[in-house]
Structure 1
């Protein structure tokens, strides 16, 4: 999926069904009930993490047991985009890292202040029951200035932050934003207000081809100049750089080329998205682990685009179609991460922590180590 939609799937949002209220639905089908008995061998590990480190390394966890192989010397926060795992909570806390909930809700459902209060109360209850350390608000819905949803979103961030900070001292409330504050994908949010009201913004500097306004040509998922310009725009609207965490992609996009020129311009199918005629929805997302298995045996091998400062390659499928795959690797990530210090940003993170190859294969182990290392400026 394109348009900074990597965080969400078709079942991303809680919907009203059978006349249930939002809170009722959350209680009956959306939230498993957990015992308040600490699941850790050391009860101290069920205490919330209160300390913050100088440099944030933010990880989205989505599946499996790959978390056991994360670089825990660097990880500061893990956002839970998978079923709750008490073993992960205990382990993260043993490393001094936070584990936070995922928070998403249809904005139309929380325009009503009562519904909003109920949703927040349920998230706080769940965080307490699971001994978690906050929440990551991942909304990603189109919003227009001056609408009820615009004001409700700002209120949601304010009230969620106040409730979590009050009920779980030291807890963290973060909000996911697109790579630029310029109404990307029609997300015309109150960015300065939201940044002031939460602990920090996680900037999703990827899916930057979600709206292609020029020719339908494949391009980098997170081109260098576009990415850095986004941060400068956030800072230009008076958002404190220490409220910004740079998100980088551990995945790429695979496009079928309708035509491939000698200078590597890959014409792609028209796939409209939120007003743009073309988008990265013409491609499919592919994990870095899969890319590493394919690139060395591809038609071209690894190529480098010095304008977008990103690697890519070509291959032919069984039907004879030529594909162009754009991705990020340690070289392209390191170039962007170097700007964290230059701009004074709070830290770095990735979507997502489970897209590397954590197997025992020596080549894979080196590739994975190099990607984690690239996160340090």
Structure 2
């Protein structure tokens, strides 16, 4: 093990548009060399996590080799793509991140170590994917963490005469957790001042945790506020500049096992998860629909697609719904979009449609 510690950080300059994607580190069948960098501006390596006691990043020799290959490959892409490593993720220890953020000393250790990792392995920045701060106090500490991180980035850049590292964060689709029994909101003032942008995770709106079918990533929803437009608007209304908001798009779908295959619209009763234990990648969905002659339905109210394959119900996005969402992101004046996750696409089908549909304005 090599223990990484010690530096400082800020970030000001980024490309006008973000066409991003998270790259799962477990994508062994999809190496960095397979990434079509003409479709993306930023690729996020997912994930790294600090030691849950020391809060330093401990990088093994094997992981070090993977990180060097990742950044080197994308730096020499045609065109090159910027790289960030993402900390945390949905499966990370949220309580450990909360402990880290709770005191100045542990925040300092974490920040310095993260900057060291970025510089040592050639990343252009760092992304924090803390899912999710669970109390108002955690949110306050997140604000403090980002302030100190930004200051450290600035100091490190000035000291080393290198461009400042990018600093971003993956966040809940809405600025506040209005569905939670613990009311809390993100510290928008700190995020606005200290981050280059936020990646709003506009997906996982419905899933087999509820036995009622629904779109994974509805753009609209006539029946609730669980939709992307509501979430993105809540961030903007809370003071987050649109040019610091990046819209999340899924390259996977959520599945259910229907109670009655004849009752199969949005809002139908299910009895549990469907194929893939409730989750299928877009590539798997296309394959299943083709092999099993699935019925594919476009839902205009939510700008989503679902397919019915026997007693299985799958809610997902396709090239049409994705390009419609990209259009709305531009209409809202957002910075761009990102995908979770890069290796889930089918032959870059959705990624290429999204990239082409972002129409550059004169300032770009």
Alignment TM-score > 0.5, same fold? yes
Alignment of 1:180-329 (within 5 A): 180-183=174-177, 186=180, 188-209=185-206, 216-225=211-220, 226-262=227-263, 264=265, 265-269=267-271, 284-298=278-292, 300-316=294-310, 322-329=311-318
Contact 1:180 1:234 in 2 (8 A): yes
Cα distance in 2 for residues equivalent to 1:117 and 1:163: 9
**What's the counterpart of residue 45 of structure 2?**
80
Cα distance in 2 for residues equivalent to 1:51 and 1:155: 22
Task: Compare 241-250 and 178-187 and name the one that shifted more.
Answer: 178-187
Contact 2:319 2:349 in 1 (8 A): no
Deviation at 1:107, TM superposition (A): 0.7
| Structure 1 vs Structure 2 CA RMSD | 2.8
Alignment of 1:96-111 (within 5 A): 96-104=80-88, 105-111=96-102
Cα distance in 1 for residues equivalent to 2:80 and 2:155: 21
SS of 2:38's partner is coil
Contact 2:133 2:139 in 1 (8 A): no
Seen in structure 2, the aligned counterparts of structure 1 residues 285 and 198 have a Cα distance that, compared at 3 Å, is: same
Contact 1:246 1:349 in 2 (8 A): yes
**What's the counterpart of residue 126 of structure 1?**
117
Contact 1:179 1:204 in 2 (8 A): yes
1:161 aligned to 2:150? yes
SS of 1:154's partner is helix
Contact 2:251 2:345 in 1 (8 A): yes
Deviation at 1:106, TM superposition (A): 1.9
**What's the counterpart of residue 327 of structure 2?**
338
Paired residue total = 307
SS of 2:215's partner is coil
Seen in structure 2, the aligned counterparts of structure 1 residues 165 and 211 have a Cα distance that, compared at 3 Å, is: farther
Cα distance in 2 for residues equivalent to 1:135 and 1:310: 32
**Higher strand proportion:** 2
Deviation at 1:194, TM superposition (A): 1.7
Q: Which runs of structure 1 show a deviation greater than 6 angstroms over 4 or more consecutive aligned residues?
A: none
Q: Provide the TM-score with structure 1 as the length reference.
A: 0.74
Cα distance in 2 for residues equivalent to 1:263 and 1:81: 35
Cα distance in 2 for residues equivalent to 1:131 and 1:289: 31
